[in-house]
C-alpha cells in the first residue's frame, strides 16, 4: 500500500517528490540581506533530510519591506547569494522557492534606519506601537513593481518557484482587511477594491516570471482579528487569485496581533487544517495545510481525509530535519517532534538572534557543530536522565566515548513529565519519549532505578562525570509552610497529592502558572463530551464555553514580584496569562504570603492584609540546584561538569543545549 505522504505531486509545471513542504520562516541568519554560510548550511540539512520542497524567506522586495537580517531580493547584488541558496537546496534533493513579502505596518522604524513603516492607512500597529505612513497611489504602483522585479530575480537565481505572502497582517493582507484599510480610493472601501492590491501584485509577478513559472500564494484561512477577514471572504479572494494565475495555495492562519494561539504547544496538532480543507473546496489547484503538523501520521490523516494536497512542516523540520526520511524508511520512533515551545525559533527573533531549537541543539549550527570522533576515548558517566543528561550522553557518545547514563527513576525524562502535565503541554512528554528512544538506539549504556553515589563512582572509575541531577523544589520561609495541607507544585503536577476545593498557590512563575491551569482544568467538560453536546444541540455555545472553562475549584495565585510567568518565553507567556483569566484563576502580583494557617493564607498586598481561604496551599517558589556529589568529585580530582538546574535554575532549552555542548567538547 502506497504512503500518501510520499506520493509525488505537481505544482503547475513543477514535479515534487513528496507531499512535505517546508514553509518560509524568518531565521535571522542573513547579514545586510546577504545569504550567509549559516543559512546555506541550515537549508542544506533540511534538503538532505528528505523534504519535497523548501520555501525560504521571507525575502525583501524593497528597503521598507524587511530588515537586514532577512534575505534580500530587492537588488541585483543579491542574485549571487540567492543562486548559491537555490543550488544548495536543489543539489541536496529538494525543490525550492523564495517567499516574497512586504511587512508593511509590522516593520519597525528602528530596523529601517529611522524610516517610517508603511501601510494602506495610518492605523497604529499593536505589534510595534507605531503608526504607518499611508501609501499614495504612486507608491502603491512602485511597490507592485518591486514585487515583480524581485520575482524576476528569484527566477534568474535558479529557484523552482516563487511564493507571495498575502497573509499574517503584512502589507497585502493589510490592504485586504477593513481593520487596517480605511482608504476611499480604488484600493479601499469595497471588497473588490481591497482585493485590488494583492491581485495586481500577482498579475505583475506573473508577467515578470512568465506563464510557466510556478507561483504559490501563502494566505490566511482566517485572520482571527476583530473586523478582519474570515473564511467566506477569503474564499472569494483565493478564487480571484486562482483566476489570476496562482498555481498553489499555502494556508496560514492569524495575524501577529491575533489573540488566538497559532503556534504554541497548546495548539492541537493539525487543528487549523479545516481552513485548508475549506479553501481546497473553493479552488482546483493544490492546497497546502499549515500549523502544528509535527508528526507524519497526522500529515497522512490530513491528506487522506481530503483536507489538503500537501502539508507544511516548518518548525517540525527545525526540530528534526530528517523527519521525512525517517518516516519514509519506517523509522518514525526515531523522530524528535517539535514541542511548540517557540523558545528558539520565535522568541529569538524578538531578541534579534538567529533561530535555534530546544529539541535540536544543532539547529542553526549545522556546519559548526559537526561532531568528530575524539582522539582519546574516555569513560563518561552522566548522572541524571532528564533532557540535559540525555543530550549530554548522546553527544558524548557520538564523539566516540564510552558513556554510561544513570537515572534513579524507572524511566528517562526527568522534569519533562512535570512540564508536560498541565493541559495543552503534553508535547513535552512526547519529547521525553523521543529523547529516550534516541538514547536507547545509541551506544549509550543505561542504568535505571539506580542511585548514583560515591560508591558507584569508585566502582566505575569514570574519567569524566556530567552531573545533570536537576533541582529540588524550594521551600519559602513562611510560617506554617510545614503544615500537612501545604504541598509542593511538583507533587501536584506529578499526581502525587490530592488538593482541596480552595487552593492558594504561592509563586507565580512558570511552575505556579502551570499548576494553576492544571487545577483549573479539572472539572471542566472534556473534549468528547463537549463535542457530543454541541453536535446534539444540548446547550448553546456560550453555555458550553462556560462549562469548558469553569472547573470545580477556587484558585488563588500569588506572586511577590510585579509580573506573572516571568520565566516563560515571550511567545508562550501571553497565552498562559490569557488562560488564567479564561479559567477564572484569581491571579495577583505584588502579593506576599505572610502566614499559612490550617484553613487560610494571610497575604500582604498594597499595604493591606488579606485572608484567603485554603484547603490546600501549593508552594511554587522556585528551584534549588541539586548537585551533592560535586564537592566530593572535586576532592578526588575527577573531572566534573554541571548542566541544567544542577548548575543553576534554568529552562529546558538551556539544559539541552548545555548538555550537548559539554558532550561535544569531551
Q: pLDDT digits over 397-417, tens only?
A: 999 999 999 999 999 999 999
Instruction: Categorise residue 282: left if φ over 0, alpha if ψ from -120 to 50, beta otherwise.
Output: alpha
pLDDT grade for 2, boundaries at 50, 70 and 90? confident
Q: Which residues contact 370 (CB under 8 A, 6 or more apart)?
A: none
pLDDT in tens, 340-352: 999 999 999 889 9
* Phi and psi torsions of 388, nearest 5°: -70, -45
CA distance linking residue 392 with residue 398, whole number of Å: 10
pLDDT in tens, 490-500: 999 999 999 99
Q: Which stretches does DSSP call E strand in 290-396?
A: 310-312, 379-383
pLDDT grade for 235, boundaries at 50, 70 and 90? very high
374 has a pLDDT exceeding 90: no
295-312 core/surface letters (b: 16 or more CB in 10 A; e: else): bbebbbebbeeebbbbbb
Predicted confidence at residue 665, as pLDDT, reads 92
Beta-strand pair 591-596/600-605: antiparallel
CA-closest candidate to residue 664, choices 641, 636, 634, 630: 641
pLDDT in tens, 150-173: 999 999 999 999 999 999 999 999
Q: Which residues contact 480 (CB under 8 A, 6 or more apart)?
A: 486, 595, 596, 597
What is the residue-averaged pLDDT of the chain?
Answer: 95
371 has a pLDDT exceeding 80: no
pLDDT grade for 368, boundaries at 50, 70 and 90? confident
What nine digits make up the cell of 141?
504602483
Predicted confidence at residue 459, as pLDDT, reads 94
CA-closest candidate to residue 85, choices 64, 99, 68: 99
pLDDT in tens, 311-320: 999 999 999 9
CA distances from 317 to 50, 110, 363 (A): 10, 31, 10
What nine digits make up the cell of 237?
479572494
pLDDT in tens, 172-195: 999 999 999 999 999 999 999 999
Alpha-carbon torsion angle 137, 139, 145, 147, nearest 10: -110
CA distance linking residue 612 with residue 621, whole number of Å: 18
600 has a pLDDT exceeding 80: yes
CA distance linking residue 401 with residue 566, whole number of Å: 39
Q: Which residues contact 536 (CB under 8 A, 6 or more apart)?
A: none
* Phi and psi torsions of 642, nearest 5°: -105, 140
CB 138 within 8 A of CB 116: no
CB 358 within 8 A of CB 364: no
Q: What is the 3-state secondary structure (H, E, C) of 586-638?
A: EEECCEEEEEECCCEEEEEECCEEEEEECCEEEECCCEEECCCCHHHHHHHCC
What one-character-per-residue DSSP string does 225-284 give? STT---HHHHHHHHHHHHHTT--EEEEE---TT-SS--SSTTSPTTTTHHHHHHHHTT-S
CA distance linking residue 568 with residue 263, whole number of Å: 15
CA distance linking residue 74 with residue 65, whole number of Å: 9
What nine digits make up the cell of 78?
543579491
What is the domain class of 379-472+624-665 according to CATH? alpha beta
pLDDT in tens, 452-508: 999 999 999 999 999 999 989 998 999 999 999 999 999 999 999 999 999 999 999
pTM score, two decimals?
Answer: 0.95
1 has a pLDDT exceeding 70: no
Q: CA 491: distance to chain centroid?
A: 28
Asked if the peptide bond before residue 18 counts as cis, ω within 30 degrees of 0, the response is no
Q: Which CATH architecture has domain 475-621?
A: 3-Layer(bba) Sandwich (3.50)
Predicted confidence at residue 369, as pLDDT, reads 62
> 475-621: same fold as 4-350?
no
- Give the start-to-end residue ranges of the domains of the chain: 4-350, 379-472+624-665, 475-621
pLDDT in tens, 70-101: 999 999 999 999 999 999 999 999 999 999 99
What proportion of the chain, given as a percentage, has pLDDT over 70? 100
CA-closest candidate to residue 56, choices 99, 88, 93: 99
Predicted confidence at residue 375, as pLDDT, reads 87
What nine digits make up the cell of 126?
499593536
CA distance linking residue 614 with residue 509, whole number of Å: 20
3-class SS of residue 447? strand
Q: Which residue carries 520575482 as its cell?
A: 151
pLDDT in tens, 22-76: 999 999 999 999 999 999 999 999 999 999 999 999 999 999 999 999 999 999 9
370 has a pLDDT exceeding 90: no
What one-character-per-residue DSSP string does 504-516 give? EEE--SHHHHHHH
- pLDDT average, residue stretch 105-110: 94
- pLDDT average, residue stretch 552-576: 93
* Phi and psi torsions of 494, nearest 5°: -85, 0
640 has a pLDDT exceeding 70: yes
Q: Choose the weakest-confidence range: 250-264, 362-376, 419-433, 572-586.
A: 362-376
What proportion of the chain, given as a percentage, has pLDDT over 90? 92
Q: At what angle do helices 510-521 and 570-582 cross, to 10 degrees?
A: 40
**Alpha helix locations (H) across 157-230?**
171-176, 191-209
For the chain, counts of helices (H) and of strands (E)? 22, 28
Q: Which fold has domain 4-350?
A: TIM Barrel (3.20.20)
Amino acid at each position: 500500500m502506497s504512503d500518501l505522504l510520499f506520493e509525488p505531486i505537481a505544482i503547475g509545471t513543477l514535479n515534487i517528490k513528496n507531499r512535505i513542504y517546508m514553509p518560509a520562516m524568518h531565521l535571522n541568519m542573513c547579514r545586510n540581506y546577504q545569504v550567509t554560510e549559516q543559512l546555506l548550511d541550515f537549508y542544506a540539512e533540511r534538503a538532505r533530510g528528505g523534504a519535497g520542497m523548501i520555501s525560504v524567506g521571507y525575502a525583501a522586495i524593497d528597503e521598507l519591506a524587511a530588515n537586514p537580517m532577512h534575505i534580500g531580493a530587492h537588488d541585483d547584488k543579491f542574485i549571487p547569494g540567492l543562486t548559491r541558496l537555490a543550488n544548495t537546496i536543489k543539489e541536496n534533493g529538494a525543490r525550492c522557492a523564495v517567499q516574497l513579502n512586504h511587512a508593511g505596518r509590522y516593520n519597525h522604524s528602528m530596523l529601517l534606519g529611522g524610516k517610517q513603516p508603511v501601510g494602506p492607512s495610518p492605523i497604529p500597529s499593536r505589534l510595534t506601537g507605531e503608526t504607518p505612513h499611508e501609501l499614495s497611489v504612486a507608491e502603491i504602483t512602485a511597490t507592485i513593481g518591486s514585487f515583480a522585479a524581485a520575482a524576476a530575480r528569484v527566477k534568474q537565481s535558479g529557484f523552482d518557484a516563487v511564493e507571495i505572502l498575502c497573509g499574517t497582517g503584512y502589507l497585502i493582507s493589510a490592504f485586504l482587511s477593513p481593520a487596517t484599510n480605511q482608504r476611499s480610493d480604488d484600493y479601499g472601501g469595497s471588497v473588490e477594491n481591497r482585493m485590488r492590491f494583492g491581485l495586481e501584485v500577482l498579475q505583475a509577478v506573473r508577467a515578470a516570471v512568465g506563464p510557466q513559472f510556478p507561483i504559490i500564494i501563502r494566505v490566511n484561512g482566517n485572520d482571527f482579528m476583530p473586523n478582519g477577514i474570515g473564511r467566506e471572504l477569503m474564499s472569494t479572494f483565493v478564487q480571484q487569485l486562482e483566476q489570476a494565475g496562482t498555481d498553489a495555495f499555502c494556508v496560514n492562519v492569524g495575524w501577529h496581533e491575533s489573540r488566538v494561539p497559532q503556534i504554541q504547544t497548546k495548539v492541537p496538532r493539525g487543528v487549523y487544517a479545516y481552513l485548508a480543507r475549506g479553501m481546497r473546496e473553493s479552488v482546483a489547484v493544490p492546497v497546502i495545510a499549515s500549523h502544528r503538523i509535527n508528526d507524519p501520521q497526522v500529515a497522512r490523516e490530513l491528506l487522506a481525509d481530503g483536507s489538503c494536497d500537501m502539508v507544511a512542516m516548518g518548525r517540525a523540520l527545525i526540530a528534526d530535519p530528517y523527519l521525512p526520511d525517517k518516516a519514509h524508511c519506517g523509522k518514525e520512533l526515531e523522530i524528535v517532534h517539535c514541542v511548540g515551545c517557540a523558545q528558539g525559533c520565535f522568541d529569538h527573533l524578538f531578541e534579534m538572534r538567529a533561530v535555534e531549537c530546544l529539541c535540536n541543539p544543532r539547529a542553526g549550527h549545522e556546519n559548526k557543530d559537526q561532531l568528530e570522533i575524539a582522539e582519546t576515548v574516555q569513560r563518561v558517566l552522566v548522572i541524571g536522565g532528564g533532557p540535559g543528561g540525555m543530550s549530554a550522553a548522546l553527544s558524548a557518545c557520538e564523539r566516540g566515548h564510552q558513556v554510561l547514563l544513570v537515572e534513579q527513576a524507572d524511566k528517562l525524562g526527568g522534569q519533562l513529565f512535570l512540564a508536560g502535565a498541565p493541559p495543552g503541554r503534553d508535547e513535552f512528554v512526547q519529547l521525553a519519549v523521543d529523547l529516550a528512544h534516541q538514547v536507547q538506539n545509541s551506544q549509550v549504556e543505561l542504568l535505571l532505578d539506580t542511585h548514583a553515589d560515591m560508591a558507584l563512582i569508585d566502582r566505575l572509575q569514570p574519567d569524566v562525570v556530567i552531573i545533570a541531577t536537576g533541582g529540588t523544589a524550594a521551600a519559602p520561609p513562611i510560617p506554617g509552610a510545614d503544615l500537612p495541607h501545604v504541598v509542593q507544585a511538583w507533587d501536584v503536577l506529578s499526581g502525587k497529592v490530592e488538593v482541596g476545593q480552595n487552593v492558594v498557590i504561592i509563586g507565580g512563575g512558570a511552575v505556579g502558572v502551570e499548576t494553576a491551569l492544571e487545577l483549573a482544568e479539572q472539572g471542566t467538560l472534556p473534549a468528547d463530551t463537549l463535542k457530543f453536546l454541541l453536535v446534539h444541540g444540548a446547550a448553546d455555545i456560550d453555555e458550553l464555553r462556560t462549562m469548558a472553562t469553569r472547573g470545580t475549584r477556587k484558585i488563588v495565585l500569588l506572586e511577590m514580584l510585579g509580573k506573572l510567568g516571568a520565566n516563560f518565553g515571550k511567545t508562550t507567556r501571553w497565552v498562559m496569562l490569557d488562560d488564567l483569566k479564561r479559567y477564572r484563576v484569581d491571579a495577583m502580583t505584588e502579593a506576599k504570603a505572610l502566614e499559612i494557617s490550617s484553613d487560610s493564607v494571610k497575604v500582604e498586598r498594597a499595604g493591606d492584609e488579606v485572608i484567603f481561604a485554603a484547603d490546600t496551599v501549593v508552594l511554587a517558589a522556585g528551584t534549588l540546584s541539586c548537585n551533592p556529589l560535586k564537592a566530593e568529585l572535586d576532592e578526588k580530582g575527577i573531572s566534573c561538569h554541571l548542566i541544567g538546574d544542577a548548575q543553576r535554575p534554568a529552562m529546558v532549552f538551556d539544559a539541552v543545549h548545555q548538555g550537548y555542548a559539554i558532550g561535544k567538547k569531551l
